[in-house]
Amino acid sequence: MDISEPANFGDYRPEDICYPHFDLNKRRNAYEEKISSLIPLKIIRRHEAMKKLYQKIKAVEKDEEKWIETMFESGDIEFVEHNIEYRIGKDLTNKKLWKLYIQFLKKYDKKVKF
């Protein structure tokens, strides 16, 4: 992510408001309180897009394939990977999700050799 802002303002970083998650508005407000200037327009636009994307992700979360496809709209492969891994950790017996995860790794993880 190319965000040209200082790395950290307490516990709130610009990155925290630039990917989809449930706490976006709270984090944006806290970030605004901590910085001494206006939030760059680039970050505001990304934040607004991620709020919409979060709603899309939540709407399809019961369908693993659509859920993963929708997360790709974030443009952040690491975000997708972490969310798949987190979800697998909550249900290690979900065979469909494991298969999708292996497909994901084959395509995006250069360290994995199949």
Chain segment 64-105, per-residue pLDDT in tens = 999 999 999 999 999 999 999 999 999 999 999 999 999 999
Which pLDDT belongs to residue 114? 59
Domain layout of the chain by residue ranges: 10-59, 62-114
CB half-sphere exposure, 7, CA atoms < 13 A: 0
3-state secondary structure of 93: coil
Region 33-57 average pLDDT = 91
Region 100-111 average pLDDT = 90
Averaged confidence pLDDT in the chain: 86
Question: Token pair for residue 11?
Answer: 């516990």
Residue 6 has pLDDT above 50, yes or no: no
Contact 54, 71 (CB under 8 A): no
Contact 89, 97 (CB under 8 A): no
Question: Token pair for residue 31?
Answer: 């970030």
